[in-house]
Amino acid sequence: MVFYLLAKAYQSVVFIRNYFYDIGLLASVQVNQPSICVGNLSIGGTGKTPMVEKLITMFKAQCSIAVVTRGYKRESTGMIIADKKHGVKDLGDEPFQIWKKFQSDIALIIDANRTRAVNYIYQKHPNCLILFDDAFQHRKIRATVNLLLTTFGNPFFKDDYLPKGSLRDHKNQTARADFLLITKCPQSLTLIDAERFKSELKTPFDQVYFCSLQYEEIRPENLEELCSYQKNELALATGLASTEELEAYLNGMNLNYTLLKFPDHHNYTVKDLETLNTFKCVLTTEKDEVKLSNLKTKMQVIKVAHHFLFNQESEFFEKISAKLNVNLTQ
């Protein structure tokens, strides 16, 4: 009952906040460069960072790109323009992951004040595409395109508000989304199941796409070695909001491992490293790898990316490019 009442109170607060933005009582400014906001309604676990990486991969050949993110749980303050001197503590785990992969292709601006970050981009990168990581709730700015992510297993319309559920924004905000991306779908999802899912949506969406998580294939020689380990020799160390998909992937290879599940965005301590060093090998994610540089034992990184089902990736790229409706130049 307590959680129910708190959830109702939270629902009312976010409804009123959004209403004030809708009627102009709180100011919201349109970004005057082509821009894409990647966000969700929940507190995490929908795959926003892999989707930002997907967009970088899609657009980097045709335009310059600036990524704006707050740098959740970073130890720095203020605005940071990422360069080679910055580490994971300066940028945060997921921004640093992006920076490691794409630093030659992007400008990366870390700032909780997205308005300030955008003004910097206007001055330094006036012709680029701006990608906002996790800014759907940040209504002081309006991107050209809003991508809203929700998971197949726990979609927003079946979820509840904090603290009873995981929703941090009101369900009626789906109306601001240009594209709805259903993430973490089973790879075996059929078109019939996809249509059934869409029929459950309360808000009609013109553009709905289904994605599954696709893990990078482990090389045969590495897989053979991993399969030889006992449970007390192989660990899976993660600081993710959800590990279900990763566990299912590893279980499908019949690996015996000990799961060491830490909170989302966990900063590994000396004690954590001592525990991990007792194993012969540690499986982990790219997000966690950037914080495990002092690990002494062998480490195997499991890479993951979004995969569009039903061969719709080209269509998605064409539709989002058309929605941007500008000529992007280097």
pLDDT in tens, 27-41: 999 999 999 999 999
Residue 202 has pLDDT above 80, yes or no: no
Q: What is the mean pLDDT of residues 195-224?
A: 91
What's the N-to-C CA distance of the chain in angstroms? 56
For residues 65 and 59, is the Cβ–Cβ distance under 8 A? Answer: yes
Non-local CB neighbours of 55 within 8 Å, separated by 6+ positions = 36, 38, 131
What average pLDDT does the chain have? 94
Q: Is the domain covering 2-214+308-324 a CATH 3.40.50.300 domain?
A: yes
The neighbour count for residue 326, using CB atoms within 10 Å, is: 12
Which two tokens mark 269? 């301590």
Residue 329 has pLDDT above 50, yes or no: no
Question: For a pLDDT cut of 90, what percent of the chain falls above it?
Answer: 91
CA dist 171 and 157 (Å) reads 7
Helix/strand/coil percentages in the chain, nearest 5:
35, 20, 40
Domain residue ranges of the chain, discontinuous segments joined by +: 2-214+308-324, 220-302
Q: What is the mean pLDDT of residues 203-229?
A: 92
pLDDT reported for residue 299: 96
pLDDT reported for residue 326: 55
CA dist 102 and 122 (Å) reads 21
The band of 79, judged by pLDDT with boundaries at 50, 70 and 90, is very high
Q: What is the mean pLDDT of residues 136-152?
A: 97
Q: At what angle do helices 93-102 and 48-59 cross, to 10 degrees?
A: 20
pLDDT reported for residue 35: 98
pLDDT reported for residue 252: 93
For the structural domain made of 220-302, what CATH number should be given?
Answer: 3.40.50
pLDDT reported for residue 206: 84
Which two tokens mark 264? 């989302």
Helix (H/G/I), strand (E/B), else coil: 299: strand
pLDDT reported for residue 204: 77
pLDDT reported for residue 2: 86
CA–CA distances in Å: residue 30 to residues 100, 110, 144: 30, 20, 8
Q: What is the mean pLDDT of residues 273-287?
A: 97
Which two tokens mark 76? 């720095």
Question: For a pLDDT cut of 70, what percent of the chain falls above it?
Answer: 98
Residue 229 has pLDDT above 50, yes or no: yes
Non-local CB neighbours of 144 within 8 Å, separated by 6+ positions = 31, 34, 35, 36, 323, 324, 325
Residue 266 has pLDDT above 50, yes or no: yes
Residue 316 has pLDDT above 90, yes or no: yes
For residues 321 and 273, is the Cβ–Cβ distance under 8 A? Answer: no
Residue 44 has pLDDT above 90, yes or no: no
Q: Whole-prediction pTM value?
A: 0.94
pLDDT reported for residue 330: 41
